[in-house]
Structures are given as C-alpha cells and as structure tokens.
Amino acid sequence: MVRFIIVLSLLAWLISLPARADEVALRLPSGAEVVSQRYPAAHGPVLLWLTDQSGQEAAEQRAAVRLAESRGEVWLTDLYAPWFLPQLSSSAARVPETDLGDWLEAVRRRVPDRRLVLVAAGHLADPALRAVSVWQSRHRSAAVPRFDVVLLFPLLYRTVEAGSEPDYIDAVDSARLNVAILQPRSAAGYWWRERLARRMEAAGSRVRMTVLEGLRDGFYQRGDTTDVEQAAGARLGETIRTTLDTLIEETPP
Amino acid sequence: MKSCLTLLLAMILALPAQASTDLKPFTPRPAPALDLPALDGSHLDLAKLRGRVVLVNFWAVWCPPCRKEMPSLTRLADRLASRPFTVLGVNVGDSADSIRAFLGQVPANLPILLDAEGASVKPWQVFAFPTTYLVDKKGQLRQGLFGAIDWDEPNAVAHMEALLAEPDPPGPDAAAGAAKSTARVESSASGK
C-alpha cells in the first residue's frame, strides 16, 4: 500500500513538471540551419512560434510550457539567427523568402500528421505570411487549405511615411489564411484593424479579430510594462490557447 | 543605463521601423477637417485658424515617444507665442481622466483636443503615434512626420519660421478669422 502511494505520488509529480524543451534543427537547401526550441506534446497541433528581435522572451517560454501542457506542441523559433540578421525590427523583411518556404516544407516533413499553426508577433508577422505565401504557391495544384495563423499586434506595412497611406507587404494579398489577430487597443494598429481584415479577406483569408483592452503592442516584452500588461503577459499561454481553440474548432482539418 | 534601454525598447515598439527624424515636405494640399471638443470644455475648428501656422500633433497617453516630446512641443508653443502660430495636441482614444492625469505630471500649455473615437485618424492618415503635420496660413498641409523629435532643435524651429515668413492669405475674412481664433485658442489653451 505504501509502495502504491509512493508510485502514485511520483507519477503525480512527474505529470506536474513543466514540459521540457529540446532542440529541433532543420537544415535548409541554402545551407541555413533553423533551430527551434521544442516544447513537446504528444497530441494536438504543432505551433510554430516565431520569436522576435528580443530573442526568446520569458513570457513566450512560459506560454510555450502552458500550451504544450494543455493544447499542443510548440516550436519557439528564432528566425534571425540562421541568417545572422541583426536584432532589429527591419530584419523581419530580410529573412529570405525561399528559405521560409523551404523551412515550412521541412517542418511538414518532420511532423506530417500534425496540424501546423504559425504564431507571430509584431514585425514577425511579415516572415510568417511570406512563409505561407511561398508554401502555398508551391502547392497550388493540390487543394491547399487555408493556413492556420495567430498574429499578435501584426505590423505588416511595407513602409510608413507621413501624409501617405502605407501599403501592406505582398503576402497579405497572396497568403490564404485562417487567421486570428490579437490587436491591442492602445496601438495605432487598432484604428486600422478593419482595413487589414478587409484586405486579408479579399485575398480569401478568414479573419477573426480580438481587441485586447488596456494593452499596447509588445505588451509582454516591453521594458515599461504596466501592471495590466504584466498580468496579460503572465496569461499569454491561456490567451493563445483560447484563440487557438476557436480557430481550430471553427475549421476542422 | 537600464532606463535608457527601457525607453529605447518602448520607442522601437511604439513606432514603425521607418520612423522619421525630420519633417517631410508635401506638395501643398488642403488639410483635412479637424473639428473636435477640447479638454477644457471648449471646441476647436481648424478651419477657423486660417491665417495662422498650425502644428497638429496626434498623440496618446500610452505612447512613450508622444509623452517624451510633449515638453518640447510646449516650449515650442511658448517660444512662438507672440506669432500667428498654434500647436494643437489631438489625443486619440484616451479618456479625459487619463489625459488629465498625464498633464498633471507633464503640464502642456496647448489646446488638447479629444478624439475618443479616432474620427480624425483616417482623414489625417495617422498610422503611427506620434504623427505631426504642419498646416500653413492658407490651411494647406505642408509637412509631416511620423515619430517624436526634439522641437527645441533649431532645425525643427526653422520649419515653422519658414511657414511664418510666408505672406498672409488674401482677404479680410482670413485676417478676421485669424484674430478671432487667436482669442479662441488662448481661451482654451490651458488644456488642464
């Protein structure tokens, strides 16, 4: 009886441990090697989470652990390191397009039976959409479904100059997405969210927009976070899980 | 050092990658309408400021670069107070209480206009905060800028001086309008 209780306690302890990350390295035809921190989960989709210029944020890692425990596997992927790009927002547009398509192809080969979901924040929405666009253009002959994507405060303008209306990157018009956008209320993008949604829908995407009250762009990675933003950063995993549930429930594979 | 890094990151996040460092000249075109309530309870219509050079600054309390440039905007308004020049601070989306709380910390001697619903964002093409436009005496958009700058800089002041040096628009209506609006701006200038 005592032995049974000990074994049971041990099992409970093991289950309560956070998911441990390991590394997945995918070598691309160009020679670049894309390394992801993998938070494994036996079931559910694989979330390809593109990390931003500040590297892998603690909030993203915590969220990845939570998501791996409850919803699906997470690959936190630094998209700048393979091409030695500087840690600048402008680097997002410099990630080579062909490599993005090749990387998505390599991921598909590695996990052929899992549903893939791209997750990206801020300027990283740019390579996320370009990756989908390239991949879909290569598989045009097949019945290519919309690609599942979660975007947090996406920044998809080509250039922004006072006095003129900025255009979006080409991938906004070419990628067919099943996309959930989490748009903070305290951000310039909030006032233009419908413009972006209309543009994506015109390209055949399905768009779900959620406004995050009291938050700013980069709310979980800023140096000047408010109490509200810190609390929201701590709940990031739950927020993405809820978003994902809606995204996937409404569009079965 | 830490606070410098914090401010730098906040500014990077608040602005698009291509934030400018100087006003960009435009081919002159009529400024969009701007007719909004002010924080002090008055009302301000840009069309009634014809005959004055007007700096229109779109800002928000949550935006660190906007907060950072407010003191130098205030000093610019002070510096050119005796001239036909007006600085308008158009707050987009914040509550009057949060604006007052901010102005309690950073007093601003310029009219603060309230655009709670973002009605001005589209016609004025505000795609980032802060966004600033210069309107000439004829009511034409002449220059614009995304991002915060130091409005004490001689280079920045030179842009206003150049527009102030231009001839007044013809007609008695314009002059009368300018005089009337001077009084009106002064009456709503505290913004507190």
Domains of chain A, earliest start first: 20-250 (3.40.50.1820)
pLDDT, averaged across chain A: 90
Report pLDDT for A93.
95
Chain A residues touching B93 at Cβ < 8 A:
185-186, 190-191
> B125 and A165 in contact by Cβ < 8 A?
yes
Q: For residue A162, give the nearest of B8, B121, B144 by CB distance.
A: B144
CA distance A65 to A70: 9
Report pLDDT for B15.
45
Q: Which of A179, A174, A176 minimizes the C-alpha distance to A149?
A: A179
Report pLDDT for A143.
73
Report pLDDT for B178.
53
ipTM: 0.84
Taking residues A165-185, report their average pLDDT: 96
Are the C-beta atoms of residues B28 and B136 closer than 8 Å to each other? yes
> B9 and A223 in contact by Cβ < 8 A?
yes
What's the pLDDT tens digit per position in A228-242? 999 999 999 999 999
Question: 206-245 in A: which are within 8 Å (CB) of B?
Answer: 216-218, 221-224
Report pLDDT for B171.
67
Report pLDDT for B130.
97
For chain A, list the strands marked E by DSSP: 22-27, 33-39, 46-51, 73-78, 116-121, 147-152, 177-186, 206-216
**Per-residue b or e along B152-161, where b marks 16 or more CB atoms closer than 10 Å to that residue's CB:** eeeebeebbe
pLDDT above 70 for A182: yes
Q: For residue A159, give the nearest of B18, B122, B129 by CB distance.
A: B18
Chain A with chain B: Cβ pairs closer than 8 A: 83
Report pLDDT for B13.
45
What's the pLDDT tens digit per position in A102-132? 999 999 999 999 999 999 999 999 999 999 9
Report pLDDT for A205.
96
Taking residues A136-163, report their average pLDDT: 89
Taking residues A149-162, report their average pLDDT: 93
> A163 and B13 in contact by Cβ < 8 A?
no
Report pLDDT for B5.
43
Cβ neighbourhood burial of A79 (10 Å; 0-12, 13-18, 19+): buried
Chain A residues touching B118 at Cβ < 8 A:
191
Residue type at position A157: Y
- Tokens 């944020």 correspond to what residue? A57
Q: For residue A89, give the nearest of B17, B93, B127 by CB distance.
A: B17
| pLDDT in 10s for each residue of chain B, 192 residues | 444 444 444 444 444 444 567 899 999 999 999 999 999 999 999 999 999 999 999 999 999 999 999 999 999 999 999 999 999 999 999 999 999 999 999 999 899 999 999 999 999 999 999 999 999 999 999 999 999 999 999 999 999 999 999 999 886 555 555 544 444 444 333 333
